[in-house]
Amino acid sequence: MIYLDHQATTPTDPAVLAAMTEASERHFANPASPHRPGVEAFQLVEKARVSVARSLGARKSEIYFTSGATEANNLAIKGIATRGSGHVITTAVEHKSVLDCCALLPGVDVTVLPVDREGRVSAQAVADNLRDDTVLVSVMLANNETGTIQPVREIARITRQAGVPLHSDATQGAGYLDLADLGVDLLSLSGHKIYGPKGVGALYVSNDLTDMGAVSPILHGGGQERGLRAGTLNTAGIVGLGAAVELAVAGRADETRRLAELRDLFLDELSVEFDLNSGTGPGFLPHALNISLRGVDAQQLLPALADVAVSTGSACNSTSQRPSHVLTAMGLPPARIKSSIRLSFGRFTTEREAVQAARSLTAAARSADLEAA
Amino acid sequence: MIRRQYRRNKVLYDVIYNDLGTVCGTDSCSVAPATAEPDLRPLNEIARAGFTVTRERTLRNRATRSMKAWLKDPATDRRFYREGDEVYYRSRSYERVLAGVAKEHHVVPRCPLIVGEYFAGYFARLRAFPSCGHRYVVDINSFADRDKILKGAEIYLRRADRADETIIAVFTDPACDQLVEMCLTADDF
């Protein structure tokens, strides 16, 4: 099976797995415990915290470990917009964990900004919609269906000037983009999108915000993570996240080039009529591809693709039976959305696999019984 | 070993002597049962070996003076705040750090503040050697002291905010068989 669904999740890197296995076997103690095994586990957690902080150009004290990006997004949004009033700005192409979270904020007015044909929000639109009572702006770094990179730095300059906190869900961009100096106040990360484990993530919160007490916890209990995220720390998962971040940062420049080449190779080899829903330029993630195969129902295509793992839309949202909210927001017609598939190349994808996947997809799309009437 | 290996470096040695008789946990401190006057002879031997001795009573008194000064003018350091009789430190690592208790004219500093005073005093001694480009305090403690040391280190490092000072907190068992070290600078907070 050729795995081309790295935006849904990535395989765990063997080096990450080795670090996690050792942590699980030898450092199982509670990091809060005041004995040697506990202090050793604490030391590992703090090393991972430093790794994550460095990748963001942040301080160690600004990193809070969570169970994943969904929790990090919930903490960022619900933690800020707690007063039952105010205004939040987000975009129409955010992950559901941001959109649903915003929609469920009691008493808070939410502005969902539209995007252009490439799925990109304009910084000017953010500026135009800021209000006196705006308490948060949340704009993702890169999209999970199209790989579109949002102008987060530009938006950050606007929100900084306005004194409004900016949150960015960097789950998809983390392995491929430089996260330092983005200018955001809150940033979400996930382990399993960067060859780390599932069930662990992190939220960066600037000390400026926490010093003001601007963020409230959504989980209460033992006071872990400076009281912002109660719950015994997942030592092995956190160690895995730290190792995954280190690997991603170390190999980023070469890997992004290699992945873009794999994507080009795949497109060259694909011998069926298709439309590109995502771009291949610098404004898009290098490994991501969203295409619509003309006249083909993507839902029917997937079972015929026996040797290639791809998906339609967001994996987290794939059971909703509704057309992709991202492609809809980009203004694509329903027929094109229905024929869209998402592919993404990864660290262990070879050139041979990219070529074979294109050939398999071509064959599957050409099979007469799959074509729409 | 440090002296032999790093001959061009200045090295000072110090031992903290617990003459307060308190046994401190994460959340509370208790006073050990009163015993006879402690035997200070081992301290003399330590001193002959080139170590200085810092008494916890001295550190507590310094912390008390600092706390009284802060209570007179809380605006001098907004990292501290008062809740009833208790004075807390706004930590960037812990949910709540109890720095001390102030009741009428009676002030009792807690461990994090006392440890912070220790680091302040020690780094002040090291600054007497201006030719040293970077100053390290290697602080060896029991595993059980982890939180109070880290809280005290944060209080000192954030207040001093110097790029040329590092605390290496080492935690160990009584036999010093197992060592776990943590390197801390102002940038961590």
ipTM: 0.85
Name the band, by pLDDT with cuts 50, 70 and 90, for residue B50. Answer: confident
Question: In chain B, how many domains are there?
Answer: 1
Instruction: Measure CA of the first residue to CA of the last residue in chain A; give whole Å.
Output: 30
CB contacts, 8 Å: A210 with chain B: 92
Confidence of residue A369 (pLDDT cuts 50, 70, 90): low
Share of chain B above pLDDT 90, in %: 62
Distance CA A315, CA A145 (A): 9
Mean pLDDT computed over A148-172: 98
With CB atoms and an 8 Å threshold, state whether B146 touches A39.
Answer: yes
Percent of chain A with pLDDT over 70: 96
Contacts of B143 in chain A (CB under 8 A): 34-36, 38-39
Residue of A nearest to B94 (CA): A226
Nearest-CA distance from B159 to chain A in Å?
A: 15
Given a cut of 70, whether residue A164 has pLDDT beyond it is yes
| Structure token digits, residue A20 | 């996690």
Which pLDDT score, from 0 to 100, does residue B38 have?
61
Query: Which of A39, A40, A226 faces B95 most closely, judged by CB atoms?
Result: A226
| Inter-chain CB proximity B94 and A61 less than 8 Å | no
CATH number of this structure's domain A2-9+252-370: 3.90.1150.10
Q: Return residue ranges of chain A for CATH 3.90.1150.10.
A: 2-9+252-370
* Contact list, B171 vs chain A (CB under 8 Å): 36, 39
Q: Do B92 and A227 touch (CB under 8 A)?
A: no
Q: Is there a contact between B189 and A61 if contact means CB atoms under 8 Å apart?
A: yes
Asked whether residue B28 carries a pLDDT value surpassing 90, the answer given is no
Radius of gyration from C-alpha coordinates of chain A = 21
B146–A40 C-beta distance less than 8 A: no
Residues of chain B neighbouring A59 (CB-CB closer than 8 A): 92, 187-189
Residue B128 within a domain: yes
Contact B144 A35 (CB under 8 A): yes
Using the beta-carbon criterion (under 8 Å), do B96 and A61 form an inter-chain contact?
Answer: no
Closest CB to A60 among B90, B145, B188: B188
* Delimiting residues of CATH 3.40.640.10 domain(s) in chain A: 14-246
Type of residue at A29:
A
State which residues form the domain around B47: 12-188
* Tokens at A82, concatenated: 């707690």
Using alpha carbons, select from A344, A304, A298, A343 the residue that is nearest to residue A323: A298
Does residue B5 belong to any structural domain of this protein?
no
CB contact under 8 A, B92 and A210: yes
Of B25, B147, B173, the CB nearest to A36: B173
**Chain A residues within 8 A (CB-CB) of chain B?**
34-36, 38-40, 42-43, 46, 50, 59-61, 207, 210-211, 223, 226-227
What residue has token string 């935006």? A7
Interface probe for B, chosen from A40, A44, A61, A212 (most Cβ of B below 10 Å), is A61
A29-48 tens-digit pLDDT: 999 999 999 999 999 999 99
Nearest-neighbour CA in chain A from B104: distance (Å): 29
Q: Are strands A87-91 and A109-113 parallel, antiparallel or unpaired?
A: parallel
Q: How confident is the model at residue A188 (pLDDT cuts 50, 70, 90)?
A: very high
Q: What is the pLDDT of residue A366?
A: 87
Beta bridge pairs of residue A3: A309
Q: What is the pLDDT of residue A186?
A: 98
Question: Minimal CA–CA distance to A70: which of A156, A192, A153, A162?
Answer: A192
In the beta sheet, which residues pair with residue B82?
B87
Inter-chain contact B180–A210, Cβ cutoff 8 Å?
no
Q: Are strands A134-138 and A109-113 parallel, antiparallel or unpaired?
A: unpaired
Token code pair at residue A204: 């960066």
Tell me, what's the pLDDT at A135?
Answer: 97
- Given a cut of 50, is residue A268 above it in pLDDT? yes
Residue B174 lies in a domain: yes
A224: closest CA of chain B, how far (Å): 7
Q: Which residues of A are catalytic?
A: 316
The average confidence (pLDDT) of chain A is: 94
CATH assignment, A14-246: 3.40.640.10
Nearest to A204 by CA among A190, A222, A221: A190
- Search chain B and give the residue with CA nearest A210: B92
Q: How many CB atoms lie within 10 A of CB B161?
A: 11
* pLDDT score at B176: 87
